[in-house]
Amino acid sequence: MEFRWLTPFTTGCERENKRGDLSASIKRLDNTMKVVEISDTRKITIIEKVEPQIVNPDDVIIRVAAVSICGTDVHTFTNTHPFVKPPVVVGHECSGVVTAIGSKVKSVKIGDRVAVDPVLGCGTCTPCTIGRPNACAEVKCRGVHVEGAMQEFFKIREQDVYVLPDSLSDTVLGAAIEPFAIGAQAVWRGGVRSGQNMVIFGAGPIGLTTMLMAKVRGAECILVDLKDDRLDNAIRLGAAAAIRADADDLKEQVRGVTGDQGVLVTCDAVGNPDIVDRCVELVDPTGTVILLGMDGSQNNVTELDIFRKELTVVGSRMNSGMFPTVLDLVGQDQLPLSEILTHRFSCERADHAFDMAIEQPDGFIKAVITF
Binding site for Zn ion (CB under 5 A): 70, 121-122, 125, 128, 136
Residue whose CB is less far from Zn ion, 97 or 125: 125
Q: How far is the CB of 295 from Zn ion (least distance, A)?
A: 16
Nearest CA to 46 out of 345, 357, 359, 342 is that of 345
Contact (Cβ atoms closer than 8 angstroms) between residue 247 and residue 253: yes
Region of 363 on the Ramachandran plot (φ > 0 left; ψ -120 to 50 alpha; else beta): left
Closest CB 16 distance from Zn ion, rounded Å: 15
At 11, the amino acid letter reads: T
Closest approach, Cβ 95 to Zn ion, in A, equals 14
CB of 149 to Zn ion, least distance (A): 11
Nearer to Zn ion, 89 or 282 (CB): 89
Residue among 24 and 125 whose Cβ is closer to Zn ion:
125
> Please, what sign has the CA dihedral across residues 264, 270, 272, 274?
negative
Write b or e for each residue in 160-187: b if 16 or more Cβ atoms lie within 10 A of its Cβ, otherwise e: bbbbbbeebeebbbbbbbbbbbbbbbbb
Shortest distance, position 217 Cβ to Zn ion, whole Å: 22
Rg (CA), the chain: 21
b/e 325-337 (16+ beta carbons within 10 angstroms → b) = bbbbbbeeeebbb
The torsion region of residue 338 among left (phi > 0), alpha (psi -120 to 50) and beta comes to: alpha
Q: How far apart are CA 121 and CA 285, in angstroms?
A: 35
CB of 277 to Zn ion, least distance (A): 25
* Nearer CB in complex with Zn ion: 126/286: 126
CB of 73 to Zn ion, least distance (A): 7
Sequence letter at residue 354? F
Q: Which is nearer to Zn ion, 31 or 126 (CB)?
A: 126
Of 125 and 306, nearer to Zn ion (C-beta) is: 125
Report CA torsion sign: 313, 318, 320, 324.
Answer: positive
Closest CA to 119 of 333, 356, 323: 323
Omega before residue 87 within 30° of 0, cis: yes
Report the nearest approach of Zn ion to the CB of residue 303 (Å): 30
Least Å distance between CB 320 and Zn ion?
11
Rounded CA separation 135/128 (Å): 8
Q: In terms of CB distance, is 131 or 191 closer to Zn ion?
A: 131
